[in-house]
Amino acid sequence: MLIFIIPILFFHHVSGSDPLFIWCPSEIPDYTPNTPFHNNLKLLLESLSSNISTSGYYNTSIGEEQDKVYGQALCRGDINSKICEKCVEEASQDILNKCRSQDAIIWYELCQVRYSFQMFISRMVYTGKFPEVDNQEKNVSKDPKRFSEVLMYLMNNLSYEAAFVPSKNMFASGEIEFSRKITIYGLVQCTRDISDTSCYNCLSSALGDLSACCSHREGGIVLSRTCNVRFELSQFFNASSQYLLVYPSSKGGKWKAWMVVLIICASMLVLAVVIGLCIAYFLRKQGSERDEEKTEQMLLHQLATPRSVTITQDGELISSEELVFISLAAIKEATGNFSDTNKLGQGGFGAVYKGVLPDGNEVAVKRLSRKSWQGIEEFKNEVSLIAKLQHKNLVKLLGYGLEGEEKFLIYEFMANKSLDKFIFDSEKRSQLDWKTCYGIIIGIARGLLYLHEESRLRIIHRDLKPNNVLLDRDMVAKISDFGMARIFCENQNAANTKRVVGT
């Protein structure tokens, strides 16, 4: 894209009656007067001026093949339709009289008009050219480096607004205070046939040239085919179209001592409050953990003392004849010393084995992992909970064992193992006809209803999955594995947990 950089000479306001620049390239062939191309060009320019007032932007084409002419007109976004139409009409007449090239563009302060023998709509190619100009605009006398920073802050923000805020129609203007006596006014605009990204890229390139040529001066304009940028130290646009940008510390000068002291004190106060809150939080958290957690030795002692166990309304373990304590030797004998051939599965806290008691009854033995603190907690939780729960859709706990680091839970044996063995096995899945599936669903629902509503203790399982739904010989579903379950109060329906549980 051909680009021209025009410093504002002599005046802060560019006259609206004279063109800012006319690009009439000598390398492009001229057209011959009174030819079809010339006649189409005149019709095109008339069409641009008569249609521009509707939205402030218009593009069209007239003619066929080698005589076809493409045209585009754009008015500045802060002017009304009458001024826009008049500007485009004058620019069209001016470019027709002053240029014979088959590709040309003219820029006025309030509008621009372009025509070409080749299609250029929706295309943005930045090829920037920097013409020689007289540097007669005054240089900035006060802190030029900071002036450049403030200027580019304003122009970059305006560029983003114009490109990416649809309501702006690719036009934005604004002002920023450089000092108490100096305000910088800026304006950016793109033609509306290009994309928002192309608009932003065009403006960014133009601002790079503006910074190089004019950021140390009191005004400057960069004109290109698809975008333009401009700044001055006096307002040159319609005030109703602007929005105010405030640059950090834009008023300049040194901060007063009391302001520095105030900010430092306020920062220190905020820091002290934050540190205090953090300390209080961690102390409270540590105290809560000390109150709630029991040592492994205490839990082992609590579970090992009775020969059988159940739970009171207060959650305490007491003796019971219903739950049997089984020795490690008896469990080893029942499971063939935990033979792999009797292994039914592996859980998060240990393995499950099939066992046969001396009376011939088959059982499932859950062997919790050694030296696992979570295993100890899970062990107590399952004994405490299941000892008190009696429902046909919950796996029944028959007994438990505890010796040294070994911890065992003895359950009724479920011949068909867990539900996942049927769901994920293509052969066994065929056994799950609708009647069986319906029965399993109802069984799970009844088990959960009992846990949530009908048992003495309101219990949330927190790890319900196909692996923890066991099936007996008649495919009756029974919920198992209460190691992660949580007890709620009778009227409680919500609670917070301290860690993520379940799978």
**pLDDT value at position 357?**
86
Given a contact cutoff of 8 angstroms between Cβ atoms, the answer to whether 20 and 108 are in contact is yes
pLDDT over 60 (residue 355) = yes
* Cα distance between residue 115 and residue 313, in whole Å: 91
Of the candidates 163, 338, 290, 136, the one whose C-alpha atom is nearest the C-alpha of residue 220 is 136
Can you name the CATH fold of 296-488?
Answer: Transferase(Phosphotransferase); domain 1 (1.10.510)
HEC string of 402-450 equals EECCEEEEEEECCCCCECHHHHCCCCHHHHCCHHHHHHHHHHHHHHHHH
pLDDT over 60 (residue 500) = no
pLDDT over 90 (residue 72) = yes
Sign of the four-CA dihedral 449, 454, 455, 458: positive
Q: Which residues are annotated as a binding site for ATP?
A: 366
Reported confidence tier of residue 61, pLDDT bands at 50, 70, 90? very high
SS3 103: strand
In tens, the pLDDT along 269-285 reads 888 888 988 888 888 77
**pLDDT value at position 136?**
59
Given a contact cutoff of 8 angstroms between Cβ atoms, the answer to whether 359 and 398 are in contact is no
Given a contact cutoff of 8 angstroms between Cβ atoms, the answer to whether 61 and 89 are in contact is no
In tens, the pLDDT along 236-265 reads 888 765 555 655 544 444 455 666 677 888
Alpha helices in 120-223 (DSSP H): 144-164, 196-214
pTM comes to 0.49
CATH of 3-116 given 3.30.2310.20, 3.40.1080.10, 3.30.430.20, 1.20.1630.10: 3.30.430.20
Domains 3-116 and 296-488 share a fold: no
In tens, the pLDDT along 186-218 reads 999 999 999 999 999 999 999 998 998 888 888
**pLDDT value at position 311?**
40
**pLDDT value at position 496?**
53
Highest mean pLDDT among 116-120, 373-377, 445-449, 468-472: 116-120
The identity of residue 273, as a single letter, is V
The residue among 345 and 11 whose pLDDT is bigger is 345
pLDDT over 50 (residue 133) = no
Mean pLDDT, to the nearest integer, of 44-71?
A: 93
**pLDDT value at position 497?**
56
Q: Which residues are annotated as a binding site?
A: 366
SS3 111: strand
What average pLDDT does the structure give for the chain? 79
**pLDDT value at position 314?**
41
Most distant CA atoms of the chain, gap in Å:
118
Of the candidates 365, 469, 481, 363, the one whose C-alpha atom is nearest the C-alpha of residue 422 is 469
Q: Which residues have a catalytic role annotated?
A: 463
**pLDDT value at position 97?**
92
* Cα distance between residue 214 and residue 435, in whole Å: 84
**pLDDT value at position 417?**
84
Given a contact cutoff of 8 angstroms between Cβ atoms, the answer to whether 238 and 189 are in contact is no
**Bridge partners, 477 (sequence order):** 471
**pLDDT value at position 305?**
44
* Cα distance between residue 190 and residue 83, in whole Å: 19
The residue among 288 and 96 whose pLDDT is bigger is 96
What DSSP string describes 27-81?
Answer: TSPBPPTTSHHHHHHHHHHHHHHHHGGGTSEEEEEESSGGG-EEEEEEE-TTS-H
**pLDDT value at position 321?**
47
Report the chain's terminal Cα–Cα distance, integer Å. Answer: 60
pLDDT over 60 (residue 320) = no
Q: What is the CA radius of gyration of the chain?
A: 42
Instruction: Please state the domain extents for the chain.
Output: 3-116, 296-488
pLDDT over 50 (residue 421) = yes
The residue among 385 and 76 whose pLDDT is bigger is 76
**pLDDT value at position 420?**
86
pLDDT over 70 (residue 498) = no
**pLDDT value at position 488?**
53
Indicate the angle between helix axes 81-98 and 36-51, nearest 10 degrees: 160
**pLDDT value at position 84?**
95
In tens, the pLDDT along 139-182 reads 887 888 999 999 999 999 999 999 999 989 999 999 998 888 88
